[in-house]
Amino acid sequence: MGEVASVFEAHVCRSYGDYRDLTIEELPLVGPARGEVLVRNQAFAVGFPDLLTIQGKYQRKPSLPFVPGSEFCGEVVAVGEGVEKTRIGDVVIGTVLLGSFAKMVVAAAENCMVLPESYDFVTGAAFHNAYRTAYVALVERAHLQPGETLLVHGAAGGVGLAAIQLGKVLGARVIATASSAEKLKWASSNGADHTLDASTPSFRDSVKGLTSGVGADVIFDPVGGDVFDESLHCIAPFGRILVIGFTSGRIPDVATNYPLLKQMSIVGVRAGEFGRLDPGGGRRVAKALLDLATRGKLRPHIHKRLSFTQVERAFDEILGRTVVGRIVVLTGQ
């Protein structure tokens, strides 16, 4: 594994705003505290929440300066006191609140899982956050049942593809929406039973047509804005709309008489917060995800692999809405 240096390289945010202002700096290395592990990072995923964090627009606004990033994959090189299940030399998928855009990462041991044998560093880095969001949303919050109809918006993104794959594992019929024919092709190849062009003015009639006029039982919505508004008109009675995020840029409103009349639920999903509020539930989710990944039921689609110096390019593509699945940055170690 090699000697551990006293400094490491990381992307640092020193002011909120433009991701182009991130700088690569050498930072002093601090060893793991009790319950923590030190990981030589091999790869990290870059996502829309990272962009919002750098802009100062995310739900959690960290103190400056900080190292962005929340998911990674690498080799454990040191363990803190009290760590029993994770050993030096283990290859792990991990999550942190901040700090994964770096060549070394300190993380809580309980937030790391062993890399499945069929995964490499790249797929490992792209796995946890997307599939945790999908699992918390569909299983823990929506209680999606076999035979129900699941409508997935933003279906070609990392979280959208995760929701399609997991929805099929759970026995649902999946309808996917995306903004281009190319993206819809990827939604189909990941298991969607039906695909709809999200760029058309209305999808409600198509959803109702596919469901004999009833509507979707569960709607997975990371987009918000007009997509959420339209979803209100194609949700089935007793249905559940899952609020995942607002990539459209607009946070929608809803008159509360509408959920009353439709007997529907609007359910907020923050997967990381779910585990912090319910540690037992968080462990249950992690165990289930590792089992599904190990059995080959879930696998991230990698849009592109970039080098450590190309984080800016990753954000360019995210803003350009060209990404299908996840972008992963290799640290080159």
Strands 235-243 and 216-221 come out as parallel
Residue 333: predicted pLDDT:
79
Tokens of 80: 């803190």
Identity at 235, one-letter amino acid code? I
Strand (E) or helix (H) holding 185 = helix 181-189
Paired residues of 152 in beta bridges: 176, 220
CATH 3.30.1490.20 fits 130-272, yes or no: no
Where do the DSSP E strands lie in the chain? 7-12, 23-28, 36-46, 71-79, 91-95, 104-108, 112-114, 149-152, 173-178, 194-197, 216-221, 235-243, 265-268, 302-306, 326-330
Q: What is the pTM (predicted TM-score) of this model?
A: 0.93
SS3 assignment, position 306? strand
Paired residues of 265 in beta bridges: 240
Which CATH number is 7-127+300-330 given?
A: 3.90.180.10
Residue 139 carries which DSSP code? I
The list of the chain residues with pLDDT below 70 reads 1-3, 201
Residue 293: predicted pLDDT:
95
pLDDT in tens, 148-157: 999 999 999 9
Structural domain spans, the chain: 7-127+300-330, 130-272
Residue 68: predicted pLDDT:
98
Please give the C-alpha separations between residue 24 and each of 19, 90, 134, in angstroms, as whole numbers: 12, 27, 32
